[in-house]
């Protein structure tokens, strides 16, 4: 298990943040979509809605979740090392 430095952890959190902002923009766009008007406009709006849902799912599953997994594994590993006395807790 790779040991991350403080800076590396912060970088990963920043990246997670960026993905969150990306998701938020898509959610806001979803709220602005209007499902009325001409048939073409409605079809287009419906298509875009489906696309957005897929993009949000992609961001969550393929971008945000891996970071959470990675950091969670890192924290668990640190806790294990601390229990074994191989890691000093910084107060």
Residues that bind another protein in the complex, under the rule CB under 8 A: 10, 13-14, 16-17, 20-21, 24, 27-28, 31-32
For the CB of residue 34, give the shortest distance to another protein in the complex, in Å: 9
Q: Please, which residue, 74 or 83, has the CB nearer to another protein?
A: 74
Burial class, 2, CB count within 10 angstroms (exposed 0-12 / middle 13-18 / buried 19+): exposed
For the CB of residue 31, give the shortest distance to another protein in the complex, in Å: 5
Alpha helices in 1-91 (DSSP H): 6-32, 39-58, 65-83
Q: Please, which residue, 31 or 90, has the CB nearer to another protein?
A: 31
Please give the Cα distance from 63 to 22 (Å, whole number).
11
Q: Please, which residue, 32 or 84, has the CB nearer to another protein?
A: 32
């Amino acid at each position: 298990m790779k040991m991350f430095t403080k800076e590396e952890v912060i970088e990963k959190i920043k990246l997670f943040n960026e993905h969150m902002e990306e998701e938020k923009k898509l959610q806001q766009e979803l709220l602005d979509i209007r499902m009325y008007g001409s048939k073409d406009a409605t079809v287009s709006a419906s298509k875009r809605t489906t696309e957005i849902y897929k993009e949000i799912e992609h961001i969550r599953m393929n971008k945000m979740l891996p970071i959470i997994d990675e950091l969670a594994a890192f924290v668990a590993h640190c806790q294990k090392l601390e229990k074994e006395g191989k890691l000093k807790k910084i107060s």
